[in-house]
Structure 1
Amino acid sequence: MKKAILYLFILSLLFNIFQYMNSTKILKTQEKELESAKTRIGKVRDSLNILREEKNDSDFFSLDYDDDAQEYFSQYDVTQVAAKVKEDLVTLNDDKTGNRLIPYEAIDGNKFFINKIKILNHRWIIADFYSGSVRGQILLKYFYNTDKPTDFERIDTILFSNTVQ
């Protein structure tokens, strides 16, 4: 009987040693994973901070974040002003010859249309335009009117040469 108890004691001791070693190994693995996760989180936070700074820099030239331009429209809701200006500009795409603000003739039967618009401040707009595979950018001056369509004046355009066949 004493031998059986001795064998059980030795077996339980070995089992406890095995459990201790296994738990220690698992703990070390989890600590490594935790450190790796902390490192990745740090890199993601750094990337987010960089992207936030870049966005803030690009938003500097935007009606939404330009206090002086917003003060110019102080008697109006700036979001409604921006929506009306964009709508008036996109409405010019409905012309049968394409948008009249773009000084280029249709290429291969494709008229030029304005598709992306960014209102820079209370006076200027930059927009992207395209005609099939040809695209460019246009800089516009605008004058907001509450009771009639917005007046637009072309300042300059760029037609990207790598898009012209």
Structure 2
Amino acid sequence: MKSRIVFYLLIFVSLICLYLFVSNGKMADVKDERIAKLEAEIDQLKDSVQDAKLKVLEMQYFSLENNDDALAYYDHLQLENPSRYIADKLLETNESKGDNPLVPYEGMESDFKINKIKVLNHKWILTDFSDGKYWGELLIKYELKDDLGVDFTMLDHLLYTRSE
């Protein structure tokens, strides 16, 4: 009788071990599959990040910050961030009452004010202006003087028409 109980216990323990062995093998396969999927996602994300970096570099091509030849014009002025300084000076033109003096249109809903500014190089700026409903763009020529004054001259402009 004692030997039969030990025999049945041995068979029961063997079945439990067999079950654990098989289920652990399946669990390992599932985890390996998940790891492979995650590695594929990581590779895809790395490619996306690389593409995004290339796009950012391409967009920064026309910017004062990345143009050493244009920045050389401002070496003698000891400006920490010439692009930010010029943008700030341009935004000061918004402070006048009414439309911005550089915008050649009268605001229809409100006053036209400059919103976004892209300093392209040591001579040109591209800006966006709006009155809240209508918008347009300006190409502005500027000159940064030795006394840190800035002269702005509007070269070209466009106003987008709304199609409703």
Query: Which secondary structure state, in structure 2, belongs to the residue aligned with residue 84 of structure 1?
Result: helix
Structure 2 distance, partners of 1:75, 1:6, is 95
How many residue pairs are counted as aligned between the two chains?
163
Deviations 1:53-110 (A, max 9, x none): 11111101001111111122222345432222111111111111221000001203x0
What residue number does 2:19 align with? 18
Contact 2:117 2:127 in 1 (8 A): yes
Match of 1:152 in 2: 152
Could you list the runs of 5+ residues in structure 1 that have no partner in the other structure? none
Taking structure 1 as the reference length, the TM-score comes to: 0.92
Q: Residue in 2 aligned with 1:131?
A: 131
Contact 2:77 2:146 in 1 (8 A): no
Q: What letter matches 1:67 in structure 2?
A: D
Extract structure 1 runs of 4+ deviating beyond 4 A. none
Aligned CA distance change for structure 1 residues 104 and 57 (closer, same or farther; 3 Å): same
- Superposed CA deviations along residues 8-56 of structure 1, whole A, max 9, x for unmatched, are 1111110011101111111111111111111111111111111111111
Counterparts of residues 13-162 of structure 1 (less than 5 Å) = 13-77=14-78, 79-108=80-109, 110-162=110-162
8 A Cα contact 2:115 2:128, kept in partner: yes
Unaligned runs of 5+ in 2: none
Contact 1:92 1:98 in 2 (8 A): no
Shift of 1:147: 2.5
- CA separation in 1, counterparts of 2:41 and 2:100? 48
TM-score by length of 2: 0.93
Q: Specify the SS of the correspondent of 1:132.
A: coil
Instruction: Classify the secondary structure of the residue corresponding to 2:129.
Output: strand
Aligned equivalents of 2:148 and 2:60: distance in 1? 29
**2:6: which partner in 1?**
5
Q: Any conservation in 2 of the 1:115–1:130 contact (CA below 8 Å)?
A: yes
Provide the aligned C-alpha RMSD in A. Answer: 1.5
